[in-house]
Structure 1
Amino acid sequence: MTTPSPGTTIEADPDVPTVRIVREFDAPRELVYRAHVEPELVKQWLGPHSIGMDIDVWDIRTGGEYRYTATRDGEEIAHFYGSVHRVNPNEKIVQTFGFEEMPDAVSLDTLVFHELPGGRTRLEALSVVYDFESRAGMLASGMEVGVNEGYDALDALLARLTGAEQ
């Protein structure tokens, strides 16, 4: 499965219960990485436009953890959490991703930040889940909307941070 969106590819492997997401950004790798690890930046882009985020814990370092609540119109609608297994600053984050409302769909996620010519970055994310049923639940939960809208918001945030926004 490939989801068309400006610059975002989402692929579900037919043979292995994985989801691969690729997106390029017009910003340096260090800045794209910062937008993933600094909670005040993460809150500005992660997830669909219609959902807010209350961060309880955001400790993105080897051995760290995170927990946040998605909100809509002031109401809690979902709870996310994970353990951070490995961080190579500006290069890679390996973490688990859990969704309390779908406890069997925990994934192991690897995010790799590739430096491209011209101060650009390609982010590749690979999520591995236990079985195809868990992956189907992940995909059915609105993940595609959250990824696409979130990355659009990240584009805008990066443009503001680099001064490229007109």
Structure 2
Amino acid sequence: MSLKDRELVLTRTLDAPRELIWRCWTDPKLLAEWFCPKPWYIDEVKLDVRTGGSNSFVMHGPNGETVPNRGVYLEIVENEKIVLTDAYTTAWEPSEDPFMTAIVELSDAGDGKTLYVATARHWSVEKKVQHEQMGFHVGWGICADQLEALAQTLK
């Protein structure tokens, strides 16, 4: 089994500078505006954006679904890279059922645009398939569109 067997990747060129994309990822109020495909939304957002810092929020669906999310940042490179996982919760406490590690990479694409690469690396092929069937490409694509639109308002 290779890493590629467990990864899903979304690559986009976003029409906003990476500093603004970064801000949307690291400011709790801004993250809440774009992070889920509408009509889903998140609240109770807490971010300690540093390597080893924790993050948490609650996702809410249109049919009353409530999904708490907790994780830890594994790597932070300002304006370039965020690596976070749900394998741990606060203070490196292992989670009961880890799903994935997310890797978000930002690089300049010229003319104030950002090359945005979001990778979901799953713990198993089965979890990758589950995420794909949940609508990874459509859902993460919608979120990237919402992220771009929000970042453009911050100019």
Using the size of structure 2 for normalisation, the TM-score is 0.83
Offset of 1:77 from its aligned partner? 2.3
Write the distance in 1 (CA, Å) between the matches of 2:37 and 2:66.
13
Residue 151 (str. 1) matches residue 144 (str. 2): yes
Correspondence for 2:104 among 108, 111, 130: 111
Question: Equivalent residue for 1:30?
Answer: 19
Task: Deviation per CA, 1:30-82: give whole Å up to 9, x if none.
Answer: 11111111111111111111112113421121111111111135944222221
User: Secondary structure in 2 aligned to 1:121?
Assistant: strand
Contact residue 10 and residue 137 of structure 2 kept, 8 A? no
Supply the RMSD in Å over aligned alpha carbons.
2.2
Question: Equivalent residue for 1:52?
Answer: 41
How many aligned residue pairs are there?
Answer: 146
Contact residue 10 and residue 141 of structure 2 kept, 8 A? no
Correspondence for 2:8 among 15, 19, 35: 19
Contact residue 104 and residue 134 of structure 1 kept, 8 A? no
Q: Which has the higher contact order (CA 8 A, sep 6+)?
A: 2
Provide closer, same or farther for how the CA distance between residues 97 and 122 of structure 1 changes in structure 2, counting only shifts above 3 A: farther
Correspondence for 2:125 among 128, 132, 139: 132
Contact residue 21 and residue 148 of structure 2 kept, 8 A? no
Using the size of structure 1 for normalisation, the TM-score is 0.78
Write the distance in 2 (CA, Å) between the matches of 1:60 and 1:142.
27
Write the distance in 2 (CA, Å) between the matches of 1:52 and 1:72.
7
